[in-house]
Amino acid sequence: MQVKKIKIKNYKKLINIDLCLEKDITLIAGPNNAGKTSIVEFLKFLFGDTKDKIELTELNTKLLDDWIEKFYVSYKSVLNKNLNDSKLVDELTSYFMINPINDIQILPEAYIEISYNKKDDQLSDIIRYSFELEEYNSIYFKYLCKLNDNKFKSFLIENNKKIISRYKNKNINDKQKKLSIKKILSTIFQNSIDECYYYTNSLYLDECEIKKTEFKQLFNIRVINALRKLDDNKNDSNYSLSKTMINIASKTDEYKTKLEDISDDLFVKLEENNIEKAILAESISKFNDELKLTSGSESFAKIGLLINPETEDINNLLKDSTTVQYNVENFNLGEYSQGLGYSNMVYMHMSQQNFEKNIDPSKINIMIIEEPESHMHPQMQTSFFKKILSFYNKNISQCIISSHSVEIVNHIEDINKLRVIRNTKNLFEAKLYDLREFVKLIQNKKYDEITDKLDFYNFFFTIGFPNLIFSNKAILFEGDSERILLKYIIRGNYENLYNDYISYVQVGGAYAKNYFDLLKFLNIKTLVLTDIDYKKDVVKKDEILKSTSSNATLNYSFRELSKFLSNPDFQISEYMENKENAITIEDIYKTNNFSKHDLIRIFTQNSNDKYTRTLEEAMFTKLLNINVWDTLTQEEWKNLRKKEKLKFSIPNKQNITVRDIIQSTSNNKTDFMYSVILMSKYKDMLPNYIKDGLEWLQNE
């Protein structure tokens, strides 16, 4: 039995998400504060927690505040009427009839689908909750929070005098008065929430209520939270590793038997040494005589002592008196001797082993690990994740992992297992992207005659893809020179971009467009910087304008990018050149940048970059304020190199263009870019197309 799908509504930032779970491992990845922890908290609360009910802080902040504000405005009008309690009830009843609380849908809900295998699963406990046994291999549950109207009105009347007193207090300014009353209303709201669990049909319509304890007993859930106590300080008395080891052992029959033997032996030893009598003699022997004298009664309660060490007492003694020892080359080191990363890895391995020993075939078994990468270096993350993969690939139980580690995402191997949670423009809402849906979109589609879309993403998964899913924005560029330049120019001149989550993805001009499917799916604002790439031997202005680009991304995007971005169903396919209607460089110049859409834009060299065809050409023409076809003498180029202290090669001829310089320096472009950076020339040489692109990316 496994959880197949959970729809979560109105829990913190999770206003409406569908979380589909794999049979083995589901990885939830995303940047900080995107909602990963909220998912973990909700699953823990839904399936495992024993706390009474959901808390006000777990509701969506904006939805709750909007409702409280709306109610406050209406309630003020009631307060101004100075009604007695009975009239107040009438007014409130009228208000609730017009504005039913539960129709506003601000309270958390969950819709759960459990799949099962009739042949292999033990269904004795769960099958009684099935509505559609013959038709489906799934059972459906529903969790609802409801605001009890009667409770709400009752609590409101109960607090009415306090609210009126606060409202009429002239010593409190209006702002504080409003905040104070809204806080009281929020508490009333919290106390009026009822929680209900149901089993239901596949449409979640017909329903039968069940007890919360009944529902939770169907699950065996283990959660390793991100904030976990680990020992790397000798003043720390947690000793969590040793306690975990004892907890694992305490589940085995052999260990229990040994503790029972120790308990019996200890009892005999205590009896032989008359420990009870010794304790009484040293502590309260005189006290009993004094108690008898002062009790005023012949019949008084004499204090004695019973020593009966049971197995659980022995187990607790071991927990309190045991610490882990690390043996390093025959030296014994204490639990606190190892760093947090190593302790974290050991702790998670033990927790996993403990979970494995306690898998219950009659229950739905789920392990949840939040941020396993905490304190661990990349290689250790990889090692641990491989171990987790090897166990859950057997489909014995399910595992949900939340992470913001590139290394963890990098080793998931199958992007079907990946769920990406990202912030939206609404600060109080997150969106979950299911990569299984992305795979369905690109399945059996091709970028060209030889490149399947799915093969492309599987191949490039470990290169640029993991970084993309954690970013707010992305920059796609061609080579190392762009990477070096961008990092320096953004750090020094684009503060907002520098402080943002930017993913830098190095792609060739032919392959940049292949990333558009994913960028569109994940809704990542993306700047594409690519060379215009007309033929090298074209130098004159008229010839440049009439020539065409060999850049596949430019050719595709000129015709199709706007259509691709605006139409959800539109797919990228390889642009096949139409010689009768070829796209010219002049066409590209007129376009300025591709698509006015706010998601993806392409910037390339244009007439403002002096008709250049590559980054390096554009940088030289910017520095010298000359066109690409203008020439300088060999001596002038040598003087420039000496003056600016830039590294570039000069061909052995008299009249030399910028293109001649770049072609001569083609094998040393990285050295040239380093010299630009070291000589602090990157700002003066920044091409216009890159400047325009960065300004667009920085603007919200």
For 464-493, write each residue's pLDDT tens digit. 677 888 888 999 999 888 998 998 899 888
Q: Is the pLDDT of residue 431 over 60?
A: yes
Q: What pLDDT sits at residue 228? A: 58
For 662-696, write each residue's pLDDT tens digit. 999 988 888 999 999 999 999 999 999 999 999 99
> Encoding tokens for residue 325?
């020892």
Indicate the pLDDT class of residue 233, thresholds 50, 70 and 90.
very low
Q: Which residue has the higher pLDDT, 639 or 165?
A: 639
For 337-396, write each residue's pLDDT tens digit. 445 556 667 777 777 778 888 888 888 999 998 888 776 777 777 777 788 887 887 777
With beta carbons less than 8 A apart as the criterion, state whether 96 and 149 touch.
yes
For 622-652, write each residue's pLDDT tens digit. 999 999 999 999 999 999 999 999 999 999 9
- pLDDT, mean over the chain: 82
For residues 246-268, average pLDDT: 72
HSE toward the beta carbon, residue 538, CA cutoff 13 A: 17
For residues 319-330, average pLDDT: 57
CA–CA separation, 648 and 675 (whole Å): 9
Q: Which amino acid is at 522?
A: L
With beta carbons less than 8 A apart as the criterion, state whether 693 and 593 touch.
yes
CA–CA separation, 280 and 646 (whole Å): 92
With beta carbons less than 8 A apart as the criterion, state whether 560 and 595 touch.
no
Q: What pLDDT sits at residue 308? A: 67
Closest CA to 326 of 334, 317, 318: 334
Give the end-to-end CA distance of the chain in Å, rounded to a whole number: 46
For residues 276-283, average pLDDT: 66
Q: Who contacts 257 (Cβ-Cβ below 8 Å, separation ≥6)?
A: none
With beta carbons less than 8 A apart as the criterion, state whether 232 and 326 touch.
no
CA–CA separation, 317 and 322 (whole Å): 8
Segment (H or E) for 112: strand 109-115
> Encoding tokens for residue 577?
């050149």
For 52-69, write each residue's pLDDT tens digit. 778 888 888 888 888 888
Q: What pLDDT sits at residue 636? A: 94
Q: Is the pLDDT of residue 303 over 60?
A: no
For 70-96, write each residue's pLDDT tens digit. 888 887 887 777 777 677 777 767 776
β-pairing verdict for 525-529 and 418-423: unpaired
CA–CA separation, 458 and 415 (whole Å): 8
CA–CA separation, 373 and 127 (whole Å): 38
Residue 54 CA, distance from chain mean position: 22
Q: What pLDDT sits at residue 235? A: 39
Q: Is the pLDDT of residue 455 over 80?
A: yes
Indicate the pLDDT class of residue 227, thresholds 50, 70 and 90.
low
Q: What pLDDT sits at residue 330? A: 57
Q: Is the pLDDT of residue 284 over 80?
A: no
Q: Which residue has the higher pLDDT, 467 or 316?
A: 467
Q: Is the pLDDT of residue 551 over 60?
A: yes
Q: What pLDDT sits at residue 318? A: 66
β-pairing verdict for 138-147 and 109-115: antiparallel
Q: What pLDDT sits at residue 27? A: 92
21-51: burial string, b at 16+ Cβ within 10 Å, e else: bbbbbbbbbbbeebbbbbbbbbbbbbbeeee
**What is the model's pTM?**
0.80
Q: Which residue has the higher pLDDT, 580 or 155?
A: 155
Closest CA to 367 of 186, 220, 469, 148: 220
> Encoding tokens for residue 42?
């909700």
Calculated CA dihedral for residues 4, 10, 16, 21, nearest 10 degrees: -20
HSE toward the beta carbon, residue 243, CA cutoff 13 A: 9
CA–CA separation, 109 and 226 (whole Å): 25
HSE toward the beta carbon, residue 453, CA cutoff 13 A: 20
